[in-house]
Amino acid sequence: MKIKFHPIVLIALLIFAFITALAGEIIHQLLFIALLLFVSVFLKKRKAFWKKMATFGIPLTVVLIILNDVILPPLATGHPSQGIHYALRFLVLLICLLTIVHTTTPTEFALGLRSLRLPPRFNHIFLLSFEVFDSFRTITRNVTIAQQLRGFRIRRNIFNRAKNLFPLFFPVVFSALSMSLDRGIALDLKGINSPSAKTYLAEWKPTILDKLTTVFLIVCSFLFFLFR
């Protein structure tokens, strides 16, 4: 089965995840995690999903729990376990992001958003943020290759990998930003900001189900926020 949600559903889901993580009770968060884990079973890219969970999500969750419950002195928040509290928040956001990343590609996402016929300014902001997101991925990949080509030995160990990523961070951010400046110029010349009504060869409109889910998620987030 291939699950394909329109981007507006995914955005609503992300909002919902934020609210659940920040304002929800432990039971809500657990439910949310359970629901998403259930959905992830049907994902086409579920292997990649679980690989990221295993190499990154679960170890970090454990570290969070240990850090808060064993190493740091307890805070007076009234929660029985500070660590579990933080870990759940983290898991909610992480699983939601992973689900979103593995249900769509940036280009599909962009197509869906374009088909919503948002005002040009929104269109531009969305596209540019994609550029940044997309360039983060490509630049990270390219830089890793370039480093290896100049004698850097990548170690298979997770901790070393995290250590390798750290010095990568600034160059990647820097070049993504400077690239998106250039890309911004290119997109501008492609008429992104043009005031005329846009036409579309291919479109991806939200279905009724998409719309209903979106409304449902937004209403839920709202209620959560009000009655936390």
Residues near other proteins, by CB under 8 A: 105-108, 110-111, 114, 127, 130-131, 134-135, 138, 142-143, 145-153, 168, 170-172, 174-175, 178-179, 181-194, 196-202
Q: How much is the CA Rg of the chain, to the nearest whole Å?
A: 20
Q: How many C-beta neighbours within 10 Å does residue 150 have?
A: 7
Q: For tokens 């079973």, what's the residue?
A: 41
17 near 96, Cβ under 8 Å? yes
Task: Compute the distance between CA of residue 119 and CA of residue 124 in angstroms, rounded to an integer.
Answer: 9
Q: For tokens 């329109």, what's the residue?
A: 6
The minimum distance between CB 5 and other proteins, in angstroms, equals 18
The minimum distance between CB 184 and other proteins, in angstroms, equals 8
100 near 13, Cβ under 8 Å? yes
Q: Nearer to other proteins by C-beta: 142 or 209?
A: 142
Task: Compute the distance between CA of residue 60 and CA of residue 23 in angstroms, rounded to an integer.
Answer: 22
> How many residues are listed for the chain in this entry?
228
Q: Nearer to other proteins by C-beta: 116 or 220?
A: 116
The minimum distance between CB 27 and other proteins, in angstroms, equals 40
Q: Nearer to other proteins by C-beta: 154 or 162?
A: 154
The minimum distance between CB 38 and other proteins, in angstroms, equals 29
Q: Nearer to other proteins by C-beta: 54 or 146?
A: 146
Return the closest-CA partner of residue 203 out of 96, 108, 80, 65: 108
The minimum distance between CB 123 and other proteins, in angstroms, equals 8
Task: Compute the distance between CA of residue 10 and CA of residue 36 in angstroms, rounded to an integer.
Answer: 12
Q: Nearer to other proteins by C-beta: 16 or 134?
A: 134
The minimum distance between CB 104 and other proteins, in angstroms, equals 12
153: Cβ contacts below 8 Å, ≥ 6 apart: none
Q: Nearer to other proteins by C-beta: 60 or 143?
A: 143
